[in-house]
Amino acid sequence: MGVILALIFDKIVMPHYVRHGKEITMIDVLKKPTNEAIGLLKSNGFEVQVVDTIDSGNLPKGIVIDQQPPPGRLVKKGRNVRLVITGGTHFFAMPNLVGRPLKAANIILDNHKLMLDAVEYLYSSDKPEGVISDQSIPPGTMVSANRRISLVISKGRPSRQLEVPMLTGLSLEEAQEAIRKAGFKVGQIRYVPTADLNPFTVIDQSPQPGRKYDNPIIVDLQVTCEP
């Protein structure tokens, strides 16, 4: 009787207790929706626990992005599988970087998981040299992680401001030359059919004459043409 009991304990009870010989390959539930992943794991005899939720800017909410044990590992049935899932896109207000040095701005961007796209250096009448004078995404705009932002760094006050010349009434050729001499760039030219004015005469401009700027800007024109 003792021998029989020992054999039963060794061959039936202990294997059942430690699930000896029941190792299977861990299934892969990465990138699956949470409900689907849990159902798949439980149908294969595993216990499931969601241990963390992480913000993700490029994946929808409720997607498995990590599992332990990892896929492909030999494990025993009944093993507890721990999942990390996405919490969806997290939006927050764009921080104000204007007036800060670039190093400080980089720290803020890193903390918010934002990406610096480009840096441009321009003159500024109201911002000292070396600090940010403008940002491509206005402060307070709702953004998510991995959003790209461009910054403008002040070169200090310009030696002189550029003034937009009066262009109305000039020919197109004269206006283009005046724009360049004033330090600006010729922008969009929109032609307006007009019967009572000579063709290629400037009838409007943007920005208006007399406006002053620290840096060269684009000047758009409205020009007559034949009906």
- Domain holding 190, by residue range, is 162-225
- DSSP output for 161-176: -EEPPP-TTSBHHHHH
- Token pair for 146: 């991995």
Q: How far is the C-alpha of 133 from the C-alpha of 69, rounded, in Å?
A: 50
Residues 79 and 7 in one domain: yes
Domain count, the chain: 3
| Cα dihedral sign, 110-112-116-117 | positive
What tens-digit pLDDT sequence spans the chain (227 residues)?
Answer: 665 655 565 555 555 544 455 788 999 999 999 999 999 999 999 999 998 888 766 788 899 999 999 999 999 988 999 999 998 777 889 999 999 999 999 999 999 999 999 999 999 999 999 999 999 999 999 998 889 999 999 999 999 999 999 999 999 999 999 999 999 999 999 999 998 899 999 999 999 999 999 999 999 999 999 98
Same domain for 36 and 52?
A: yes
Instruction: Provide the CATH number for the domain around residue 50.
Output: 3.30.10.20
CA angle 110, 149, 107 (to 5 degrees): 20
